[in-house]
Amino acid sequence: MKKKNLSRRMFLLSGGMAATALTMIPGQVQAAHSPDASGTEKDKPGNQQNSINGVYNIRDFGAKGDGKTLDSPAINKAIELCNSNGGGTILVPPGVFLSGTIHLKSNMVFHIGAGATILGSTNLADYQDVVESKDSKRGPWHAAIIVGNEINNIEISGHGVVDGNNVFNPKGEEEMRGPHAIFFNKSENITISDIFVKDAANYAYIMEGCNNGSLHGVRVTGGWDGIDLFNCKNFLITDCQFATGDDCVAGGGWENIVISNCTLNSNCNGMRNYGGGLKNVVFSNLVINGPSLFRHRTHDTPSKREDLVYHNSWHKDYDSLSGFWLAGGGVIDNLIISNVTVRDLRCPVWISLQGSFSDQNQDAAIRNVQISNLTAIGVGKPNVSSLIQGSADKLIENILLTNITIQSVSEGNKDMVDNPIPERVGDPIELPNCYGMYCRYIKDLEMHNIRFSKPDMDERPALICEKVDYLQMDNVRSMNESDQQAILLREVKVLKRNGTGSTGN
């Protein structure tokens, strides 16, 4: 079998993709910052009511900022005038501005200044659902405090706060979720910087069908997901902090996405892929920490629904599930995970095709994945390892693992080693066969400089590779002298190894 050159062919992407994404991020909303220098009719004082040099202070439109008066009508009035004048800056000054849905328009800056808070109204009638949901079980899924629907050239900036106020909606998803904090639909050229979102009643940020955007220096605490991108292209998420009650970063249908220099803390997953694939995606320079600072709110749902009871059963108090849960169907192609530290959660990496290739996900495939310089400490409890698994119908292609350290705290026994692994392993909850990493149904797999360690009482292997066509191993070993069989190989067609620990077939 002729070996493919993974390192040369696959991943010129790591530097090049980030540069490509940067060039595709807009010069942002330059026109919105300054009036037209040509002195056109729109800039004459008579057409710039309540505006100073294109800046619209929402207090000039009747916003009170007392935390009691509903201020979203006044804010929307300012936005409408700004829009009719060709764009500008909406200024949210210090104060607490009670708000329902705020409808952003194209070519403007929405600036939430230091000392300003936009507080979500607890009256659900104050929100508008701008996109009809296809799933009736989710209720008014697209309602949000701040909405951009089919707009272009928009910036949200400032050091202020968007407070979702933990709004409860008994008719929402899971019989409790309320409006998102910030939602963009089919929009382009989006810049968000320095905003603090807290206690979102659902997601802090959600983007659907959006292109060319960046989030920089934002902070999210509480709520459910930090940011979800669905069918989005050309986004940079950099220097952000997420501490969420659900996934930090999630979604699917991504193309040309870079997430870098961020800290993630979740009661679920640092990164979760669902509802579509990932193409040309980089995760770099991340710290993913557990346990969660915020309990999963669904855990407290007083529901007898079977799906919620199951859901809550594996959100144990403040546990964090995984660093990367990539099992959402679609095609994963050209994915890089590099320079990542994962600490005190169950599973560092979980990459899996959802079900058999003959199932409903006919387009499902995973290929060209590189994971390098990953350190996982205090992981594996109660008895779960990392996973990379294709299916018998569709092997994963071209996996390169380099410089990985996994320090497990699990306490499994040798009787677990031969437990059957199902074809569909969607949830990173329990995988007891080994303590480090389980790999199955892979066409070609390279592993270089991989180290595993565990408590001495754990009797399982560090690594199991099963049904692999081509496996190359270099310096793959357990750091425990007590390991009798650190590496277990089953049905590996071609094996090239150097400096590995003990193996068995």
Q: Structure pTM? A: 0.89
Which amino acid would we find at residue 311?
A: H
CB 383 within 8 A of CB 436: no
* pLDDT at site 419: 83
Tokens of 377: 């400490």
201 vs 215: CA distance, rounded Å? 20
Beta bridge partners of 350: 325, 387
pLDDT in tens, the chain (505 residues): 444 444 433 333 444 544 444 444 434 444 344 333 333 334 433 345 677 889 999 999 999 999 999 999 999 999 999 999 999 999 999 999 999 999 999 999 999 999 999 999 999 999 999 887 666 556 678 999 999 999 999 999 999 999 999 999 988 888 889 999 999 999 999 999 999 999 999 999 999 999 999 999 999 999 999 999 999 999 999 999 999 999 999 999 999 999 999 999 998 999 999 878 999 999 999 999 999 999 887 777 666 676 666 666 666 677 888 999 998 778 999 999 999 999 999 999 999 986 444 445 567 899 999 999 999 999 998 888 999 999 888 999 999 999 999 999 988 888 888 888 877 766 776 677 899 999 999 999 999 999 999 988 888 899 999 999 999 999 999 888 766 679 999 999 999 987 554 444 4
The one-letter code for the residue type at 393 is D
Name the nearest CA neighbour of 119 among 59, 64, 169. 64
Going from the C-alpha of 401 to that of each of 98, 187, 398, the distances in angstroms are 50, 37, 10
Q: What's the per-residue H, E or C state across 453-482?
A: ECCCCCCCCCEEEEEEEEEEEEEEEECCCC
Report d(CA 242, CA 248) in Å as an integer: 6
Domains in the chain: ranges and CATH: 6-29+148-498 (2.160.20)
Give pLDDT, residue 131: 84
